[in-house]
Structure 1
Amino acid sequence: MKTSSICLFVLLLLTFSSVFGQKKTLVLGDTLESSISKGEQHTYQVWLESGQFVHITVEQSGIDVAVTAVNPIGEKIVELNAPTGIQATDHVEIEAKTSGNYQLDIYPFESPADSGKYKIQVMELLSPAEYKQRLITERVQHEATIQALQEHLQQNAIPIHHIEAGNDFNDLRLLKKILQDVKIVGLGEATHGTREFFQFKHRLLEFLVTEMDFNAFALESSYAACQPINDYVLYGKGDRAAVLSGQGYIAWDTEEFSEMLDWLRSYNEGLPDAKKVRFYGVDLWNNDLGRKSIIAYLSKHDLNKVSAADSIFQILSKLEPDWPMLLDDSDRKIMIDVLPRLQSLISHLAANKDKYIAASSPLEFDQNLQYIKVMEQWILANTAEISERSKYMAENLMYLVDRSSPDEKFIIWQHNAHIRVDESDGYSKFGYMLRKQYSDQYYAFGFRFNEGSYQTRILNYGEAPGDLKVLTLPPAPVGSLEWYLSRTNIGNMILDFRIPSDNPAVEQFLNTPHQVQIANWGYPMSSNYVDENPKKLYDGIIFIEKTTATRPTAHAREAAEKRKRF
């Protein structure tokens, strides 16, 4: 790598402070590997001249770490603290506005592992003149890419005329051709708290149900606790506000989601059961209703097993409310200890399947066995070195699909991180498993936005969930995927990646990793930028230019004030 004479003369040094007070230096191009454990923070400093640019990578191994950078006057300029995986690499890029020491802090973040390693390396160091020339070159490249992308999207993108449901579907008609052979449509989201995402998903739901005969909806929420929502949309049982709050996730307990449930209930009313839209959850948490169902089932058909099952369930019912922020190592030990007893109960039911079915029905037996299996998944996901929650949610959806009628078609609502179709961090995610199982019958829509607000909740490990908090992001940074899409000036749009572009420059763009914004439900670990290859991860993208935060219901606000639910 070429560097200017000033860069050669002034070696780039990073000073590392360990718990023993040792200091190590890293020269441009060298790699420093270090072990790190929970509770530790490793601090580095790099001296930069005003106008210089430095690119530093932090490669994680066996533990997820967060990285922050602070400028010489103490302002935080980089914060990479969204979960990226225990084998991922964080990229820190700093353009020095002033001369002085820039500090990097590295610490374990949202990882079940107690310790691991990371490698830190200075990949690139540019002098002020070199960096200025880099920016000029990139500007020319950006303009050429934007022009090619704009020409492609003007011919192929579907402009979105309306975000809210209740409008005509004229702008969505082309989706009939795109999704004509699709059995499962995955609707992702870059955040769990964007009002426009929720509203447009509601509109897509109405379109897919009324125009394309989709008749099942599955949510990234409790498998067991979504059953009352299904009873409500099918038969009007219960109170809508109560059943929505009962599923447990505050992220879904919003005015926007409530309006969608009202539409589902209205649509189903008066239809024969075979034509109604069903509502399912696929997540692993909040299993109280499942436990009650199993105890009732065993009380009818296997009274001798009630005591053993109840003793297991009592333990799990005390642990589940602590998920995820208050679960600690002692809780995980209890979960590991109780797991063989739970698996023994599963084996007992499976071995006596014929007897149970003869006394009840195949549907009733399968449902109760699945309730227990979801509890097993919850334990496994929370005690493994790498949580496979996403994989287990896919298994639960596949269970529902396998037991549905041949003409049943599913809409699934999850985060982008789940619906994407690649295998990341060496383990299977939701969308990857669906692609393997259903091939092109699964279509994954990622949702992206340029700028705006979204709802989060203050979450810190070791503490009860805190207040709701609205965050606002400025326009997407130069060179990011969202920035390119915004610069086309098309506005809100739908992109389909399954039909290749005739323009090689566009194909290269779509098959090249770009920075994208990733946000989680929890604050402060909510927002980050990571590299994603759009065409490798998704079949299409729904892009919204400007966003606002979802509007929590009164029940949600009350639960947050009382530090309840998640």
Structure 2
Amino acid sequence: MNPVAVTRTSVLKEIHDLARPLKNDRDLNGLVRRAADCRFVAIGEASHGTHEFYTWRDTLSRRLIAEEGYNWIGVEGDWPDCWRINRWVRGQDGKEQGVHALLAGFERWPTWMWANEEIAAFLDWLRTWNAGRPMDKRVGFYGLDVYSLWDSLREIIGWLQENVPDAVPAAMRAWQCFLPHHEDPHQYAWSTRLVPQSCEADVVALLTEVRNRVFSPGPHDEDAFDAVQNAEVAANAEHYYRIMVRGDRQSWNVRDHHMADTIDRVSRHLGPASKGLIWEHNTHVGDARATDMAKDGLVNVGQLLRERHAGEGVLLVGFAGHRGSVIAADAWGRPERILTVPEARPGSHEDFLHQALGVPSVLEFGDDRTGPWLSTWLGHRAIGVVYHPEREAGNYVPTRMGERYDALIWLEHTAALRPVHHEGPPREPELETEPTGF
């Protein structure tokens, strides 16, 4: 028999044997049981603009919150924006504010990542869930990302003015250093390339000042924790933009280390019994060591979670789809569009999943991942916020599926997210960041 045919047959058989059809939330029972003994469940998405990725992640997360005691969610979003959501879902702010008005506060492109009807439905549910519980049992919602340089500086200054006014000068020195760049991180970063002078010393001094003030003897309240995290964001954002504008791919590592460190800070803040759900793109959730990122020296959140917290239990769940539509843009900063997602490329993971299954499914990987599909390097589609369906060959990331995730949710046909508003001009210009079109 043809060896190629044998390989293809064995791959399809392994996929078929691992899969269970996915029709309703009960079909997630296996994943819920596996998550029971974990402290972290990271749930990915193969694009930032697909309805089914968001809704099945929502469904799994609701069950993990209700049945397994997961009490916080960390997302690929800015800390200040998500802190507003955290206070809203915990009933601390905005009692008369509706969820759509809350999500209108997302102004950084691409707003559709979080300002969409799918997220609105989840946040409404979470607020109702929290309302029936004491404050210390309510589920939080936190932003893990590194981009909010100016917003975080504003939040630090406001907190210092109210709580430690004699420390305001340190914050103002950092603010004055950035002020000539008109809240444009691109302009700031380029200035450090042309003239080797940066604001690094000022933001590091500010971070040290805030840490000393907050963690001196005395109660550590929520607002103080927010101030410390904003100081961490400011310091790491300055570093991130300065490295990125030089074309150094290590800016990816700055960002993912920041997100993993934020996960650790939130976990410590909420205590040793806390259990976190991490919502990010597959490129952050799936272990980088099982992709071609590793040869470039890149790490990601999934890898760092496994390295730091394997003893506490980590479950990495990826998503994949065959065809449909997606919300994305044709260039960075441009308005969103509904774009067609073509059928998967022949020979990719998605192609074999389609051939073997043909219906939405859940695939859980056991201890033995040496089989012909789980151990084979194949392309795995990753759609970013910038997407060109007509030339998507570069969207396929070489991947060993069994090492990258612990489970995979497969969708045959998907539809685009439903934004709550359309994109306007970016309020704060951004450098193009991954994942975009790969």
TM-score of the pair, normalised by structure 1: 0.66
> Is 1:241 paired with 2:106?
no
> Is 1:276 paired with 2:138?
yes
Mapped partners of 1:335, 1:320: distance in 2:
19
Q: CA shift at 1:498, angstroms?
A: 3.0
Q: Of residues 323, 347, 358 in structure 2, which corresponds to 1:451?
A: 323
Query: What are the within-5 Å matches in structure 2 for residues 495-534 of structure 1?
Result: 495-500=363-368, 507-524=371-388, 527=392, 528-534=395-401
Deviations 1:438-460 (A, max 9, x none): 11611111111111111112334
Q: CA shift at 1:159, angstroms?
A: 1.8
- Conserved? CA contact 2:41–2:317, under 8 Å: yes
> Is 1:475 paired with 2:343?
yes
Q: Rate the CA distance shift 1:406–1:323 in 2: closer, same or farther, 3 A.
A: same
Moved more, 308-317 or 405-414: 308-317
Deviations 1:289-330 (A, max 9, x none): 533332233324543432341242255477586457x77622
- Conserved? CA contact 2:46–2:282, under 8 Å: yes
- Higher relative contact order structure (alpha carbons within 8 Å, sequence separation ≥ 6): 2
- Which residue number in structure 2 is paired with residue 376 of structure 1? 235
- Conserved? CA contact 2:12–2:353, under 8 Å: no
Mapped partners of 2:327, 2:316: distance in 1:
23
Q: Rate the CA distance shift 1:335–1:202 in 2: closer, same or farther, 3 A.
A: farther
SS of equivalent residue, structure 2 residue 265: helix
Q: Rate the CA distance shift 1:146–1:140 in 2: closer, same or farther, 3 A.
A: same
Q: CA shift at 1:145, angstroms?
A: 2.6
- Which residue number in structure 2 is paired with residue 404 of structure 1? 270
Mapped partners of 2:267, 2:346: distance in 1:
42
> Is 1:437 paired with 2:300?
no
Query: What are the within-5 Å matches in structure 2 for residues 59-138 of structure 1?
Result: none
Q: Of residues 297, 300, 312 in structure 1, which corresponds to 2:159?
A: 297
Mapped partners of 1:340, 1:317: distance in 2:
15
Corresponding letter in the other structure for 2:207: I
- Which residue number in structure 1 is paired with residue 433 of structure 2? none
User: What runs of 5+ residues in structure 1 fail to find an aligned partner?
Assistant: 1-135, 163-168
Q: Rate the CA distance shift 1:350–1:196 in 2: closer, same or farther, 3 A.
A: closer
- Which residue number in structure 1 is paired with residue 65 of structure 2? 209
SS of equivalent residue, structure 2 residue 90: helix
Deviations 1:105-163 (A, max 9, x none): xxxxxxxxxxxxxxxxxxxxxxxxxxxxxxx958624642355225523xxx232113x
SS of equivalent residue, structure 2 residue 329: strand
Deviations 1:500-548 (A, max 9, x none): 27xx7xx132111111112111245994223111112111111111111
Q: Rate the CA distance shift 1:336–1:144 in 2: closer, same or farther, 3 A.
A: farther
> Is 1:183 paired with 2:39?
yes
Q: CA shift at 1:369, angstroms?
A: 2.4
Q: CA shift at 1:408, angstroms?
A: 1.6
> Is 1:393 paired with 2:264?
no
Corresponding letter in the other structure for 1:148: K
- Which residue number in structure 2 is paired with residue 226 of structure 1? 82
- Which residue number in structure 2 is paired with residue 343 of structure 1? 204
Deviations 1:376-425 (A, max 9, x none): 11111122222121121111111111221222211110011111223422
Q: CA shift at 1:435, angstroms?
A: 0.7
Q: CA shift at 1:170, angstroms?
A: 2.3
Percent sequence identity over matched residues? 25
Q: CA shift at 1:496, angstroms?
A: 1.4
SS of equivalent residue, structure 1 residue 458: coil
SS of equivalent residue, structure 1 residue 279: strand
Q: Rate the CA distance shift 1:352–1:209 in 2: closer, same or farther, 3 A.
A: closer
Mapped partners of 1:281, 1:320: distance in 2:
24
Q: Rate the CA distance shift 1:332–1:493 in 2: closer, same or farther, 3 A.
A: farther
> Is 1:544 paired with 2:400?
no
Q: Rate the CA distance shift 1:293–1:550 in 2: closer, same or farther, 3 A.
A: same
Mapped partners of 1:270, 1:320: distance in 2:
44
- Conserved? CA contact 2:42–2:317, under 8 Å: yes
- Which residue number in structure 1 is paired with residue 26 of structure 2? 170
Corresponding letter in the other structure for 1:437: R
SS of equivalent residue, structure 2 residue 347: coil
SS of equivalent residue, structure 2 residue 326: strand
Deviations 1:51-73 (A, max 9, x none): xxxxxxxxxxxxxxxxxxxxxxx
Mapped partners of 2:65, 2:261: distance in 1:
24
Mapped partners of 1:354, 1:229: distance in 2:
25
Corresponding letter in the other structure for 2:191: S
- Conserved? CA contact 2:192–2:242, under 8 Å: no
Mapped partners of 1:383, 1:305: distance in 2:
26
Mapped partners of 1:290, 1:368: distance in 2:
8
Q: CA shift at 1:207, angstroms?
A: 1.1
Deviations 1:345-386 (A, max 9, x none): 22334455665x44x746554432221111111111122222
Mapped partners of 1:342, 1:561: distance in 2:
30
Deviations 1:467-511 (A, max 9, x none): 11222122112211111111113511111123327xx7xx13211
Q: Rate the CA distance shift 1:499–1:318 in 2: closer, same or farther, 3 A.
A: farther
Moved more, 415-424 or 532-541: 415-424
- Conserved? CA contact 1:285–1:320, under 8 Å: no
Q: Rate the CA distance shift 1:447–1:316 in 2: closer, same or farther, 3 A.
A: farther
SS of equivalent residue, structure 2 residue 419: coil
> Whose strand proportion is higher, 1 or 2?
1
Q: Rate the CA distance shift 1:268–1:395 in 2: closer, same or farther, 3 A.
A: same
Q: Rate the CA distance shift 1:530–1:296 in 2: closer, same or farther, 3 A.
A: closer
In terms of Rg, which structure is larger? 1
- Which residue number in structure 1 is paired with residue 51 of structure 2? 195
Corresponding letter in the other structure for 1:409: K
User: What runs of 5+ residues in structure 2 fail to find an aligned partner?
Assistant: 431-438
Corresponding letter in the other structure for 2:27: D
Mapped partners of 2:136, 2:16: distance in 1:
45
Mapped partners of 1:197, 1:335: distance in 2:
44
- Conserved? CA contact 1:221–1:282, under 8 Å: yes
